[in-house]
Structure 1
Amino acid sequence: MPAPRPLDEVQVRTSFARFRVASIVEGCALLVLCAIMIMRYLVYGGTSHTWEQVSSVWSPIHGLIYMVYVILGFDLWLKMRWALPRMLLLMLFGVVPVLSFFGERWTHESVERELARRPTLQDGER
């Protein structure tokens, strides 16, 4: 069995830094969307024109933020050469409110653990 190809630690860390920011922004955007939906449907029973307008403006913005999150998660997944279930898990982190914050911490620990365990292109420089 051939040795695994080494990871490029610089690319991985750069990709993770972008993913980390996207995770936090997505988590906040999803919380805002949830608050808007609570105001629109639970507090005003779906009859408030104001919250309907706020929802119609914020929902596509949140969708765009989530798409950026997905792209950056995919980039990290490619750089780390993880299996497909990990990619699906990264996507799930951005769908469930508050989970992106915990998912970001878990992903950070996974990246650090794997960079320490797997060979990297920068190993010779240390």
Structure 2
Amino acid sequence: MKNALTRFRVIAWIVGVLLIVLTVGTVLKYTTGDDTIVALVGSAHGFLYMAYLVLAADLARRAKWKLGFTALVLLAGTVPFLSFVAERVATRRVESARTLVGGTV
């Protein structure tokens, strides 16, 4: 499960950073008319968000998360800065579960 957690953490950060850049680009698009950032980052964020969904679902399955928590983590990639929070909460949850079971983190 450690590898699944690492993959999720990396993609959560990438998706989070790209979403912030995309949000700034969207503001610039509608205030200055320049859509360069949206054109460059929009597709990358969309593609990587799909990878985020797959990796988050894989981690949820391995960690046996409840459906509600899983849904919140999956949706976190759509709100700026929230993927960082979801990554931190998910990491703590996985690490505490591994500690309770007696595994090493």
**What TM-score do the two structures reach when normalised by structure 1?**
0.75
RMSD across aligned positions (CA): 1.7
Q: Which has the higher contact order (CA 8 A, sep 6+)?
A: 1
Q: CA offset at residue 81 of structure 1? A: 1.4
The separation in 2 between residues aligned to 1:16 and 1:54, in whole angstroms, is 30
Task: Deviation per CA, 1:18-52: give whole Å up to 9, x if none.
Answer: 000001101100001001001011x22xxx2xx23
Which of 38, 41, 56 does residue 27 from structure 2 map onto? 38
Q: CA offset at residue 119 of structure 1? A: 6.4
Secondary structure of 2:78's partner? coil
The 5 A counterparts of 1:58-77 are 58-77=41-60
Give the structure 1 partner of residue 69 of structure 2. 86
Secondary structure of 1:94's partner? helix
**What TM-score do the two structures reach when normalised by structure 2?**
0.89
Secondary structure of 1:88's partner? helix
The separation in 1 between residues aligned to 2:59 and 2:43, in whole angstroms, is 24
Runs of 4+ in 1 over 3 A off after TM superposition: none
Gaps of 5+ in 1: 1-11
Give the structure 2 partner of residue 5 of structure 1. none
Which of 19, 23, 28 does residue 17 from structure 2 map onto? 28
The separation in 2 between residues aligned to 1:83 and 1:112, in whole angstroms, is 16
- In proportion to residue count, which structure has more helix? 2
Q: CA offset at residue 109 of structure 1? A: 0.7
The separation in 2 between residues aligned to 1:98 and 1:53, in whole angstroms, is 22
Q: CA offset at residue 67 of structure 1? A: 0.6
Q: CA offset at residue 56 of structure 1? A: 2.9
- Aligned residue pairs, count: 104
Task: Deviation per CA, 1:91-124: give whole Å up to 9, x if none.
Answer: 122111011111111111101111122366x8xx
Gaps of 5+ in 2: none
